[in-house]
Structure 1
């Protein structure tokens, strides 16, 4: 029979057509999974993999217990190992039952896969399932990649999840079951057309099949073509992305604008996904794309969700977590420097003023008696450091020149003397002072959370 021949071809493609292989067969006792199990059993002994039947009693219908009992008897009669689990009723959620049941089911398959050392899990999804999923996603809207549908073979917990019946129509499987006298159970909930999938299954797919009997094959063909195009796009992104990224993995606006307009949004999407680990929808990307290209707004920040923001400055686009609040420092009167003590001045910085250098990178600094007491505080817009030639440089300009990200600049701290004069922009630059005018030399030192040594300081 053509079905059996093509089925063998599917197993051969997955390299499972061998008695040296072991497969877990997901069986619900519906017609599709009973056909899958029967096809496997009817393979020639020299090609048949070792079979382990896996069944989940979801306890969602009255006949669930009857189905589980039937499968036990069937496996005993055919000497098939059976792994069966109940989904406890008290574990059923009040909403999203279908998604929760699927998660429980696949978690169970993964457990059986691990404990038995099997090579693959086989499920009985078929062409109608594929078309239903395609139409549901098409109706809901979303990303083009979502329309590629279920893969015949995909990775699953280090092994394979294979759907060898995916090329076959439901009618073909039912005809096979009737011809071979198989016993199966009908899920009565499949007739409930208030459920979206059932409505598509019972009404939409049959109508489209009347319009064109080759509808299912056309869906499969479109999905294969779409997958090929998406693969080509991914390869193009691999080539384009390095040409627009800086050494610190930000985006260069100048380089980005040189990319063909058609590719700019896919490049932005790929870059954001790589940087954040999230998938971003195209409809959201379009306004962000316009914002990046807006020459009237060369700097700024754009919140893109509850966790991330785009930052534009100096011809560079970066994506950063939302600015976290720095842990509040102690009240001002308690922010005074404790000589020879490390002090936590922000959530990520620990600094100190010492009479002897605590680390090899500690910076000597001349101190006058009138400087005491010294204090730590956040920098202010008017703050400036003294330069060696007698001039001054604003703290704001130092942070810009050292290319400190916009989101990090407000977090910078300064060390000031009793008169409020800035002596040290912590972690970035020390104010110049003639050693001949000082009575004492102290050592400025900084530790960050990721460092065990003091940071280098710049004059």
Structure 2
């Protein structure tokens, strides 16, 4: 196994001299095998490895296992990084845990300059994942399963054990006398993956011992097929779809000129691009509705596809984009010295730094943010509700979407829509109340403070 692992790793350039590779190690046999193999390769090919471990705290033995893994890494002079999962949800634990893990890996890659993260997914994982995806949603894009290599956090995500069966991995772990741990939760049949692992895959393997190789082959073919589909869809979108701010549009006749077999995948690819650019998800159900509506003779129709997003057909044109802001949405203009209520539970003032503020009685006990303002803070600002596409300059080299900040801060959806942004007259975002301020609007310690923004809220 070592010889084959080395040959494949060199051929596919899983590593090279000077690489910095982060290994995701749970403590199970598969991840310990990955750790042992990569430790041997690192010594032979002169690259650095580190271990990332998530203590999910879902089992009583989790802490002891994390301590044992940390000790193992210490004894073998391997960098070890651990994070505990504190906010475990009541539902959707598996997907939430996955998001938490990969967020941790991305953070480590950026902070410690790792160029690659490796996970210990193997051929049995591939079979289980593909079966789960087919059972859950029957989507080609999901049915392709786990990719051997993909881009991740500015580097690469590689699964070098994907061609090895669980039996091969356990045989190697036994041969090397590795101190791995067994997760008893892998046997709980209230988890779908466990039911597939315990009850279905043994039957499939008995039916055909080549089932793992066949599913790996099928996965690769589906990946190639998806690449062909995306190439054609991207070419059509580039030619026929026009984009203006937060609206995308195309001519109905251009879309209907596509063969029926290509319409779905083209629209699905467009929805994927919308999700990447605007964080708006168009469901499979809505994709099917759009396809059906486009073949009707209705001159005009409208379909809500997400919060504040819709698809409009207006005679010969289809427009996908954000709904117009209702007339009742308020916009405020403030100058230094102005104050007033933004809503029943929010009050704002921009005042000279040392001036006493005459607070309305109603707001005196409300929560407060008092922000010293930079000397070059504009004379006039606009306070409005946030809009998709708003970005704020947090540092000289860091500009971030307001929507992403709200997600990162775990602001509930109902509060996100109530968020106010402060902009200058050129629509440059200076603050997101009460979340953050642009570095352009914050006074530094050496500045003489002339003004401050006072925000009271309940």
TM norm structure 1: 0.66
- 2:16 aligns with 18
Partner Cα separation in structure 2 for residue 82 and residue 328 of structure 1: 51
Name structure 2 gaps, 5 residues minimum: 331-424, 429-458
Alignment of 1:209 onto 2:210:
no
Alignment of 1:172 onto 2:173:
no
2:99 aligned to 86, 91, 103, which one? 103
Q: Structure 1 residue 262: deviation in Å?
A: 2.1
- 1:35 aligns with 33
Q: Structure 1 residue 242: deviation in Å?
A: 4.5
CA change 1:64–1:228 in 2 (3 A) is same
2:194 aligned to 192, 198, 201, which one? 198
Write the mapping of 1:260-299 to structure 2, written as runs, cut at 5 A. 260-275=259-274, 277=278, 278=280, 280-295=282-297, 297-299=298-300
CA change 1:11–1:254 in 2 (3 A) is same
Partner Cα separation in structure 1 for residue 111 and residue 306 of structure 2: 41
CA change 1:450–1:166 in 2 (3 A) is same
- 2:125 aligns with 129
CA change 1:328–1:140 in 2 (3 A) is closer
CA change 1:283–1:177 in 2 (3 A) is same
Partner Cα separation in structure 2 for residue 218 and residue 199 of structure 1: 21
Q: Structure 1 residue 10: deviation in Å?
A: 4.1
Residue 45 of structure 2 aligns to a residue whose secondary structure is coil
Write the mapping of 1:66-77 to structure 2, written as runs, cut at 5 A. 66-77=64-75
Partner Cα separation in structure 2 for residue 221 and residue 165 of structure 1: 15
Matched residue count:
330
List per-residue Cα deviations over 1:143-191 (Å, max 9, x = no partner).
Answer: 2101111111122211112111111111110011112222211111111
Write the mapping of 1:304-383 to structure 2, written as runs, cut at 5 A. 304-327=305-328
CA change 1:308–1:328 in 2 (3 A) is closer
Contact 2:14–2:158 under 8 Å retained in 1? no
Contact 2:283–2:305 under 8 Å retained in 1? no
Residue 25 of structure 1 aligns to a residue whose secondary structure is strand
Q: Structure 1 residue 256: deviation in Å?
A: 2.3
List per-residue Cα deviations over 1:389-444 (Å, max 9, x = no partner).
Answer: xxxxxxxxxxxxxxxxxxxxxxxxxxxxxxxxxxxxxxxxxxxxxxxxxxxxxxxx
**Quick check: which one's strand share is greater?**
2
Moved more, 307-316 or 162-171: 307-316
CA change 1:44–1:51 in 2 (3 A) is closer
Contact 1:18–1:46 under 8 Å retained in 2? no
Moved more, 245-254 or 310-319: 245-254
Write the mapping of 1:385-400 to structure 2, written as runs, cut at 5 A. none
Contact 1:17–1:48 under 8 Å retained in 2? no
Partner Cα separation in structure 2 for residue 112 and residue 287 of structure 1: 42
CA change 1:246–1:186 in 2 (3 A) is closer
CA change 1:304–1:109 in 2 (3 A) is closer
Structure number with larger C-alpha Rg: 1
- 2:371 aligns with none
Partner Cα separation in structure 1 for residue 289 and residue 257 of structure 2: 19
Q: Structure 1 residue 282: deviation in Å?
A: 4.7
List per-residue Cα deviations over 1:250-276 (Å, max 9, x = no partner).
Answer: 221222222222222323333444456
List per-residue Cα deviations over 1:352-395 (Å, max 9, x = no partner).
Answer: xxxxxxxxxxxxxxxxxxxxxxxxxxxxxxxxxxxxxxxxxxxx
Contact 1:143–1:282 under 8 Å retained in 2? no
CA change 1:450–1:51 in 2 (3 A) is closer
- 1:80 aligns with 78
Name structure 1 gaps, 5 residues minimum: 330-448, 453-459
2:215 aligned to 214, 219, 228, which one? 219
Q: CA RMSD in A?
A: 2.8
Partner Cα separation in structure 2 for residue 56 and residue 299 of structure 1: 52
TM norm structure 2: 0.66
Contact 2:119–2:159 under 8 Å retained in 1? yes
- 2:151 aligns with 155
Moved more, 239-248 or 187-196: 239-248
Q: Structure 1 residue 247: deviation in Å?
A: 8.1
CA change 1:298–1:72 in 2 (3 A) is closer
- 1:254 aligns with 253
Residue 134 of structure 2 aligns to a residue whose secondary structure is helix
CA change 1:150–1:273 in 2 (3 A) is closer
Contact 1:272–1:319 under 8 Å retained in 2? no
Contact 1:275–1:319 under 8 Å retained in 2? no
Contact 1:16–1:49 under 8 Å retained in 2? no
- 1:374 aligns with none
Partner Cα separation in structure 2 for residue 298 and residue 250 of structure 1: 16
Residue 94 of structure 1 aligns to a residue whose secondary structure is coil
